[in-house]
């Protein structure tokens, strides 16, 4: 399975909203409502932000939301804050005949 496609970088000012896209194929993103998103600060482990396309784990701010249309999933962060500056990775189930998971290449979010 090829990696999912994400923009290398996005930026926004505090208080603004940004959206990070994650494009896959009909074999992964397009076939399953099983997209998750992870936030990773430098030198730290990833943190789950969104699962099953649009569900937020307990403790994750409601400023983070997820959606999907066709083969493309999206993560939207509203009311940008300085602490949102991090790398973001999407992830999709990609199994057909066997279990498989594919990540996106990651997007660096810069808060200006």
- The footprint of other proteins on residues 23-82 (CB under 8 A) is 34-36, 38, 40, 45-48, 51-52, 57
| CB hemisphere CA count around 48 (13 angstroms) | 12
Distance between CA 17 and CA 28 in Å, rounded? 27
Q: How far is the CB of 91 from other proteins (least distance, A)?
A: 5
* CA torsion through residues 11, 93, 43, 39, sign: positive
Point out which span in 11-19, 62-70, 75-83, 95-103 binds other proteins (CB under 8 A). Answer: 95-103
Q: Does the protein bind other proteins through residue 7 (CB under 8 A)?
A: no
25 three-class SS: coil
Q: Which residues bind other proteins (CB under 8 A)?
A: 3, 34-36, 38, 40, 45-48, 51-52, 57, 89, 91-93, 98-106
């Amino acid at each position: 399975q090829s990696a999912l496609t994400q923009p290398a970088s996005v930026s926004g000012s505090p208080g603004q909203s940004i959206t990070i896209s994650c494009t896959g194929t009909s074999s992964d993103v397009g076939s399953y409502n099983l997209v998750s998103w992870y936030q990773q600060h430098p030198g730290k482990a990833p943190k789950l932000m969104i699962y099953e396309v649009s569900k937020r784990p307990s403790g994750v701010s409601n400023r983070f939301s997820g959606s999907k249309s066709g083969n493309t999933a999206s993560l939207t962060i509203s009311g940008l804050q300085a602490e949102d500056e991090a790398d973001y990775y999407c992830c999709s189930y990609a199994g057909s005949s066997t279990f498989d998971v594919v990540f996106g290449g990651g997007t660096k979010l810069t808060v200006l």
